Amino acid sequence: MDHNAPVVNDKHRIRTAQLDLPPRLLLGPGPSNYSNRVRQALSTNEIGHLDPRFIDIMNETQELLRYVWQTDHAFTIPVSGTGSAAMEASLANLVEPGDVVLIGVNGYFGERLCDMASRYGADVRRLEKGWGEVFTTDEIGEAIEFHRPSILGLIHAETATGALQPMDRIGKLCREFNCLLLLDTVTSLGGVPVTLDRWHVDVAYSGGQKCISCPPGIAPLTLGPRALEKLNRRKTKVANWYLDMSLLSKYWGPERTYHHTAPVNMVFALREALRIIAEEGLEDRWERHSRNATALWEGLEEIGVSPYVSEEWRLPSLTTAIVPEGVDAKAVAAYLLEHFNIEIAGAFGPLAGKVWRIGLMGHNSRHENVVLLLAALKEAMDNA
Q: Which of residues 268-327 bind its own copies (CB under 8 A)?
A: 268, 271-272, 275, 278, 281-283
**Which of the residues 343 through 382 are near its own copies (CB under 8 A)?**
343, 345, 348
Pick one of 178, 261, 306, 310: the residue that binds its own copies (CB under 8 A): 261
Q: Which residues of 89-100 are buried (b: 16+ CB within 10 A; e: fewer)?
A: bbbbbbbbeebb
Q: In whole angstroms, what is the distance from residue 188 CA to residue 244 CA?
A: 25
Segment lying near its own copies (by CB under 8 A), choices 13-21, 133-141, 225-233, 322-330: 13-21
Pick one of 58, 192, 201, 228: the residue that binds its own copies (CB under 8 A): 192
Segment lying near its own copies (by CB under 8 A), choices 35-43, 223-231, 319-327, 374-382: 35-43
* 235 lines the binding site for its own copies (CB under 8 A): no
Residue 283, Cβ neighbours under 10 Å: how many?
9
191, 211 in Cβ contact below 8 A?
A: yes
Q: Nearer to its own copies by C-beta: 47 or 327?
A: 47
180, 227 in Cβ contact below 8 A?
A: yes
Q: Nearer to its own copies by C-beta: 60 or 379?
A: 60
Characterize the bridge pairing of strands 100-105 and 151-155.
parallel
Q: In whole angstroms, what is the distance from residue 125 CA to residue 100 CA?
A: 7
Pick one of 2, 255, 325, 368: the residue that binds its own copies (CB under 8 A): 2
* 141 lines the binding site for its own copies (CB under 8 A): no
Segment lying near its own copies (by CB under 8 A), choices 67-75, 98-106, 125-133, 293-301: 67-75
Characterize the bridge pairing of strands 203-205 and 219-223.
antiparallel
**Binding residues with its own copies: total (CB under 8 A):** 107
Q: Nearer to its own copies by C-beta: 177 or 240?
A: 240
Task: Please provide the DSSP assignment of 276-336 as one string.
Answer: HHHHH-HHHHHHHHHHHHHHHHHHHHHTT--BSS-GGGB-SSEEEEEPPTT--HHHHHHHH
Segment lying near its own copies (by CB under 8 A), choices 175-183, 208-216, 291-299, 324-332: 208-216
φ, ψ dihedrals at 142, nearest 5° = -65, -40
